[in-house]
Amino acid sequence: MKEGDRYLMSTYARFPLVSKQGKGATVVDVDGNRYLDFVSGIAVDSLGHCDPRLVKAIQKQAAQLLHVSNLYYNLPQIELAKFLVTHSFADKVFFCNSGAEANEAAIKLARKFAKEKRDPSRFEIIAAQGAFHGRTLATVTATGQEKYQKGFDPLLPGFRHVPYGDPEAIEKAVTPQTAAILLEPIQGEGGFGSRRKDISRKSERFATGTAFY
Ligand SMILES: Cc1ncc(COP(=O)(O)O)c(C=O)c1O
């Protein structure tokens, strides 16, 4: 942990646990302590740790072709996109590396669509107080929590925040400049379905929601 604090940038307040390996819902630290993992990579390890089929698929692909750029097509990318489209509401897929990047793309798409298909003056995004949408400059602006924004100003123009779970507040905030509304169905960082002023209860820090548009 000492070396971690020495060599890693302090972008996260980490808990004092050095994970070494995982199996299913269990994580083992470097001292051999076992934990039941309720965090699950913040809800991304949906198959549990080191699922044998997933490990095999990653090993097989890594031995075959590791990386090509988006300048070219590759078969697994097309196959996965087709699977996702045929099993969801989506028409097309944009692959990216993080939640922040997904939200960044959604903000860009919404602005581009509004400008080109509606009116060039449309660019505003309405988001909720207490929201968490990521740590890039655009998504941290959309995030309705000052603690994440401190030190990064000037933030991007064109974002408004309204109380969470208040449809009337959203209606009032909509103007002819509104391009999109960015909401988590359930606020994780802000507390479950909360309309409370106290939105930073530590016990709720690890609940995650997904942004939709
Ligand atoms: C609701 C929500 N949106 C966006 C993000 C950002 O995702 P990432 O950390 O992968 O950039 C998170 C991450 O916790 C999240 O919980």
pLDDT of amino acid 192: 63
Two structure tokens written together for 115: 């400008």
Residue nearest to atom 9 of ligand 1 (CA): 99
Question: Is 196 part of a structural domain of the chain?
Answer: yes
CA angle 121, 135, 18 (to 5 degrees): 165
pLDDT in tens, 148-179: 999 999 999 999 999 999 999 999 999 999 99
Contact (Cβ atoms closer than 8 angstroms) between residue 135 and residue 148 = yes
- Residue 195: inside a domain, yes or no? yes
Within a domain: 159:
yes
Dihedral in degrees, nearest 10, Cα atoms 44, 45, 46, 48: -170
41, 105: one domain = no
Give the structural domain span for 41: 2-45
pLDDT of residue 213: 31
Residue at 12 is within a domain: yes
Which tens digit of pLDDT belongs to each residue from 188-211?
887 764 444 444 443 333 333 333
Q: Is residue 127 part of a domain?
A: yes
CB-defined site of ligand 1, < 6 Å: 42, 98-100, 103, 132-134, 184, 188, 208-211
pLDDT band at 86, cuts 50/70/90?
very high
Cα separations in angstroms, 31 against 7, 24, 36, 51, 52: 21, 19, 15, 23, 24
Q: How far apart are CA 45 and CA 125, in angstroms?
A: 30
pLDDT band at 42 (very low <50, low <70, confident <90, very high): confident
For residue 76, is it within any domain?
Answer: no
Same domain flag for 41 and 104: no
Per-residue model confidence (pLDDT) at position 153: 95
Q: Which of 210, 213, 161, 163 is nearest to 187 (CA)?
A: 210
At 76, the pLDDT band (50, 70, 90 cuts) reads very high
How many angstroms is it from 133 CA to the middle of ligand 1? 6
CATH of the domain at 142: 3.40.640.10
Higher pLDDT, 42 or 169: 169
Looking at residue 188, its pLDDT comes to 84
- pLDDT computed for residue 206 by the predictor: 32
106 and 31 in one domain? no
**67: in domain:** no
Q: Examine the domain organization and report whether 107 and 192 are in the same domain.
A: yes
Same domain? For 40 and 103 the reply is no
Q: In the structure encoding, which two tokens stand for residue 21, read together? A: 């390996």
For residue 126, the SS3 value is strand
Looking at the fold, whether 9 and 104 belong to one and the same domain comes out as no
63 C-alpha vs ligand 1 centroid, how far in Å?
Answer: 30
* Shared domain check, 104 and 27: no
pLDDT of residue 85: 98
- The Å distance, Cα 98 to ligand 1 centre, comes to 7
Query: What is the Cα–Cα distance from 165 to 162, expressed in whole angstroms?
Result: 9
Give the lowest-confidence range in 93-97, 103-107, 189-193: 189-193
Alpha carbon of residue 115 to chain centroid: 25
The DSSP secondary structure of 44-82, one letter per residue, reads T-TT-BT-HHHHHHHHHHHHH-----TTS--HHHHHHHH
109 and 182 belong to one structural domain: yes
- Give yes or no for residue 11 having a pLDDT over 70: yes
Q: Does any domain span residue 73?
A: no
Q: pTM for this one?
A: 0.85
> How many Cα atoms sit within 13 Å of 209 on the Cβ side?
22
More confident residue, 182 or 212: 182
Same domain, 114 and 191: yes
How many domains does the chain divide into?
Answer: 2
Please answer whether residues 149 and 155 qualify as being in contact, where contact means their C-beta atoms are separated by less than 8 angstroms.
yes
